[in-house]
Structure 1
């Protein structure tokens, strides 16, 4: 009788080897799919901030269709635009000739646009008399009643405000002779300096108030 145990043993060993090989192959595939290499299409996805201040949600590759655009560019262009107001460095101040009347001394204080652009002034200028050392003489002028309006100044054009006070010879107010009149354009901080050559001004006592009017187009009444 033939011995059949040897072929059966070989078949069993072969089957075991095939099973083991299959197991090793499966383990190798599992290892590759769980590695740190990203899947195609996911490398560009980010959860960080986008340029322009936006951010994406995990798994997004960019802003959703129809999303509102970032306002960063709009803010930049808004800040690049210049405002329409005339600034101190764009203006020259001067004082016109005295216009006496009814015991008053009236002077046109003129602001002229020296820039190359059109700008505007609105309201009252600031004014102050100072001595040669820069010390202010008397209180700030009062604002005469009026209706402010926007005055548009093309290059070279002017606006004026009336500076008025009672004649000290008539009012008997205490006086001083200023060296300079400081004129501050509306909404500005830096004044313009104008040499004062019109003599004494009231700085204290009765009837010593000085007033200014709203700015109007032109160089005087």
Structure 2
């Protein structure tokens, strides 16, 4: 039988090398896929929630002013209102009632000894009583007020008191507004000698007077009044 010139194909060296190349490429591809799979798992694991479900990314919202709602400034928590801005305008002007209640604002502050002149008028006897007008003149350029009884004592030349200070009468006092240059008075009262006994106090050298509401005194050189019957009183300023 004739021998054929064609032989069965056998794997040559070049086919072996080709197969090795294909296997190496397939192995590299598998390694690449495995590496990608590991990378995706790590990334997804960093963003997954407690239940394994990925959390959505935080999104900053903006209000109408354009400031971020999650920012440090320009935010207001839901359900709250910002405090009203403090006003720094001028204080309200005092009312007319307030001014009227303030004597100084009304131009009628209390008269003081530095703004008064004191004189003692002549005695006016009548029916056994003697009255001496004790006058106060406003020497300032503004009105002032006296309200109540003056305190009156008669003094010797050495400053000691004769008898006792004048008692107050039962007349109800009222405030008296004294215009600049105006004079008001308070009445000193005693008795004629013999109406109530025959004794009289000695003549004074000075009279010392505290105007109503004042802790400062005024003195005047005078020999009147001569108090008799231990009766010496003073009325309110009028």
Higher relative contact order (CA 8 A, sep 6+): 1
- Deviation per CA, 1:4-32, whole angstroms, max 9, x where unpaired? 33212432454366558879xx9xx9xxx
Contact 2:162 2:201 in 1 (8 A): no
Aligned partners of 2:73, 2:103: CA distance in 1, in Å? 47
Q: CA deviation at 1:208?
A: 0.9
CA spacing shift, 1:158–1:13, aligned 2, 3 Å: farther
Judged with a 3 Å threshold, the aligned counterparts in structure 2 of structure 1 residues 80 and 161 are, in CA distance, closer, same or farther, namely closer
CA, structure 1 residues 20+140, in 2 after alignment: closer, same or farther (shift >3 Å)? farther
1:87 deviates by 2.7
Shift in alpha-carbon separation, 1:185–1:20, aligned structure 2, 3 A:
farther
Deviation at 1:194, TM superposition (A): 1.9
Partner of 2:118, secondary structure, is strand
Distance in 1 of aligned mates of 2:217 and 2:75: 64
TM-score (norm: length of structure 2): 0.58
Q: Does 1:86 align with 2:110?
A: yes
Compute the displacement of 1:153 (Å).
0.9
Q: What is aligned with 2:74?
A: 40
| Conserved? CA contact 1:88–1:192, under 8 Å | no
Q: 2:34 and 2:160 mapped to 1: Cα distance?
A: 120
Using a 3 Å threshold, how does the CA distance of structure 1 residues 9 and 86 change in structure 2: closer, same or farther? Answer: same
Task: Name the structure with the higher strand share.
Answer: 1
Matches within 5 A, 1:100-139: 100-139=125-164
TM-score (ref. length: structure 1) = 0.61
Q: 1:164 to 1:199 in 2, by over 3 A?
A: closer
> What residue in structure 1 maps to residue 207 of structure 2?
181
Larger Rg: 2
Shift of 1:94: 1.4
2:63 corresponding residue in structure 1:
none
User: Unpaired runs of 5+ in structure 2?
Assistant: 1-22, 49-56, 61-70, 77-81
Distance 1:81 1:108, change over 3 A: closer
RMSD of Structure 2 on Structure 1 (CA): 4.1
Tell me the distance in 1 between the aligned counterparts of 2:210 and 2:137. Answer: 13
CA contact (8 A) 2:111 2:145 kept: no
Task: Report the Cα offset of residue 174 of structure 1.
Answer: 4.4
Separation in structure 2 between the aligned mates of residue 94 and residue 177 of structure 1, nearest angstrom = 17
Aligned to 1:56: none
